[in-house]
Chain A
Amino acid sequence: MLRIAIVGCGKIADQHVPAIRRVPDCQIVSVCDQELLMARQLGERFGVSNCFSDLGKMLEETAPDVVHITTPPQGHYPLAKKCLESGAHVYVEKPFTVTAEQASSLIQLAQSRQLKITPGHNYQFTLEMLELRQLVEQGFLGGRPIHLESHYAYTLDDLDNVGPILGNRRHWVRQLPGQLFHNVMSHGVARLAEFLDDDLCEIVARAHQSAELQTLGGEEVLDELRVLIRDRRGTTAFFCFSTQIKPVLSQLRICGPRNSILVDLKSGSVIPYKKENHKSYLTYFLPPLLNAREHLRNARRNLVHFATRKLYQDYGMTELIRRFYRSIQEKTPPPVPYREILLTARIMEEIFSQVYPANLPRTDLPNVVARVEEGSERGAPLGIL
């Protein structure tokens, strides 16, 4: 039975607790927040009696095996470091750390202590992303990806969420080097990092402020981002973050030398596109019908998932937690390879250095990722060749 603790008892912790409770052989033994009242409200609602405002005391008194860090990102590095030093495995919410250097330092510390660490890239473990991975591993693409596209949209419609960020320069989101992008885009970048090589030779990032954000008083906050990436092996990637695109998108497209795949995380769909040659006008009739068949297949599969109680909102988080705990118990590689964590952190840092140059100096691209020797649950990207 793994003993679990949670540090940071805000909104995200409310998602973690039910997800942890779906995983067998674990128990939440303590919760901690610098505001004891916050720790107590979480403990009271979920029946956890050990509530702390001091992390050191919590680690000492409850000796958790795994600590989930669900604080604002500025706290991730020091808190994770302290937990690792105390001998606990760590799940860190996204974004993993504020800087790539911190990410590297945490991973090295975890490795030196034979502990495991994972970022909260839970959207990598949704049902549709698992199906995508299966297709790729089966060689559906026909080789290494030629091009990747990740769209990640965020809505400004909910002013209860956005208002406090825009209205307060001291808000923790505004204190991040990449501001709004920094807090939410790692899901979209991590999707690309999985299929890109460690050595990147080009990242071009452009950002601006939308008219809507300007109207809302966005000041220096940017909310429209486009990025082009190329790795040493020639795979290119396009990343689009937008607050304006409607409907709100969360998609990944992988184009291979033979076939391509589109994953739509909003509708839980995986649409494979096969290279097919149709005679004459059939090219206008058959492909749409074949696509329709794929959409129907997705609808049917989602209905089955609903009937079997798998279509709940935080499936990805539960699956990531389950795999992370299993990797600890069975001493197998963690679910998110460390090279992906580092590559995601490096790409994000380079983007921020270009769009917010005052916040971050530019990095030296050829050394984008310091290589980390590791095994991984799903292997390095070269495994897809």
Chain B
Amino acid sequence: MNADYIASPKDRILVTGSNGFIGVKVVETLLEYGFTNLRCFVRPSSLLDSLREGLSGSPAGEAVQLISGDLLSRNDCRKAAEGVSVIYHLAAGFDKSFAGAFMNSALATRNLLDAFLEQGQPKRFVSVSSFAVYADWKLKRGALLDETCPLEDAPQERYDSYGFGKLKQDELVREYGERYQLPYVILRPGPVFGPGQKALSGQLGISAFGLFFQVGGSNLLPLTYVDNCAEAIVLGGLKPGVDGEIFNVVDDELLTSRQFLKAYKKRVNRFRSIRIPYSVAYSFSLLWEKYSQYSKGQLPPAFNRRRCGSHWKAHRYSNQKLRERLGWKPKVNLDTAMASFLSQFEPRKA
């Protein structure tokens, strides 16, 4: 057993959401680290192509156990958690409704936590959360967003069901940590990019009416490349002495919104964007929010000041804690990451 890690290669490790964009990379990284006693939990409806491709890249991939089920089923969770020492919980069901998001995030996590306590040999529960839980709109422009940032206190006003689900998931994990002394680590990645993820982050702007409205321009994007993010998550489950800690995951080198879009436009055909200054976006969000209140929800508060501030107010980001406590460093540098991300798009014709 590597003394630097809390788990040995013989320990059974469960990865939920293992067929997702980040999950596949987490599985690949664990295999690279020599952890072969892996159990991948996938939804019955999942198409397993990317996971199978990821497993085929390693000689130990054949030994990986695939288990299909629904995290909303306590029985399925019990089967998944049986004999498991470390759980990487990446599964995230998206749902527009708050109740649906809560069910897919918090309720599923509760089932998994209970099953882990009941059927596992818990060494650590790694919960993958999101930047969406932070009330970063409260920070001043240029302020540093790190793990001490206050959490969102009214996700409904932000009209962000995903953030709500993740907030409640984090609350539950912390509660289980305190009540049952369950060792846990929470990782909160910024927007994750890489090949396989074509959609642009909402932190760049909004797509509407066939156009892309880029908000701001000089604001830094708290991006993390998928391989770097997976590395951080894997270390979160292995490094000793970090139980109960929370880590933000962003890369070292960050691009501004303008720099990212410029590189994107060079590569992508027929992409038209209009830049909107932050102050205009903020005023528009304020008006929209007020009309939404006046009309009693005839227009839902899809644009609101909280979301505007969270997405587009220029903040600074830090991965200092991640580096210091987990010994993380990016596997892939910015140039390579951008080249890899952009390679999935059609090149612009000469």
Contact = CB atoms under 8 A, between A and B. Distances in A.
Interface of A: 9-11, 13-14, 18, 22, 35, 37-38, 41-42, 45, 159-160, 163-164, 166-168, 170, 217, 306, 309-312
A22 B296 contact: yes
Contacts of B252: none
A42 B95 CA distance: 15
Given A164-B70, A167-B44, A312 B297 contact: yes
A42 B45 contact: no
A18 B46 CA distance: 34
B45 A37 contact: no
B98 A41 contact: yes
Contacts of B107: 35, 37-38
B58 interface: no
B51 to A, nearest CB: 15
A38 B111 CA distance: 13
A160 B94 contact: yes
Nearest to A162: B45
B100 A11 contact: yes
Given A18-B297, A160-B93, A160-B94, A41 B43 contact: no
B110 interface: yes
A301 B343 CA distance: 50
Contacts of B168: 41
Given A37-B106, A45-B156, A167-B44, A11 B99 contact: yes
B197 to A, nearest CB: 16
A312 B296 contact: yes
A189 to B, nearest CB: 25
A45 B98 contact: yes
A94 to B, nearest CB: 17
A18 B292 CA distance: 13
Nearest to B93: A160
A9 B184 CA distance: 29
A217 to B, nearest CB: 7
Contact of A168 (B45, B94, B99, B100): B45
A41 B73 CA distance: 19
Given A11-B95, A309-B296, A309-B298, A38 B44 contact: no
Interface of B: 43-46, 70, 73, 93-95, 97-100, 102-103, 106-107, 110, 156, 168, 294-298
Contacts of B298: 306, 309-312
B106, B107, B295, B298 — most chain A CB neighbours (10 Å):
B298
A41 B44 contact: no
A167 B46 contact: yes
Given A38-B107, A312-B296, A160 B95 contact: yes
B45 A164 contact: yes
B159 to A, nearest CB: 12
A170 B70 CA distance: 10
Please classify the interface of chain B as helix (H, G, I), strand (E, B), loop, or mixed, using the class held by over half of its residues: loop
A163 B43 contact: yes
A38 B102 contact: yes
A309 B295 contact: yes
Contact of B99 (A41, A163, A309): A41
Nearest to A216: B45
Contact of A10 (B46, B73, B100, B296): B100
A286 B219 CA distance: 58
A183 to B, nearest CB: 15
Given A11-B97, A163-B45, A164-B43, A38 B103 contact: yes
Contacts of A309: 294-296, 298
Q: Which 4 A-B pairs have the closest CB atoms?
A: A167-B45, A167-B44, A163-B45, A11-B97
Contact of A166 (B45, B97, B98): B45
Contacts of B45: 159, 163-164, 166-168, 217
B114 to A, nearest CB: 12
Contacts of B99: 9-11, 13-14, 38, 41-42
A312 B98 contact: no
Nearest to B298: A312
A10 B103 contact: yes
Contacts of A38: 99, 102-103, 107
10 contacts: A11-B99, A11-B100, A14-B98, A38-B99, A41-B98, A41-B168, A170-B73, A309-B298, A310-B298, A312-B296
A41 B106 contact: yes
A11 B98 CA distance: 7
A163 B70 CA distance: 12
Contacts of A9: 99
Contact of B44 (A159, A168, A311): A168
A22 B297 CA distance: 11
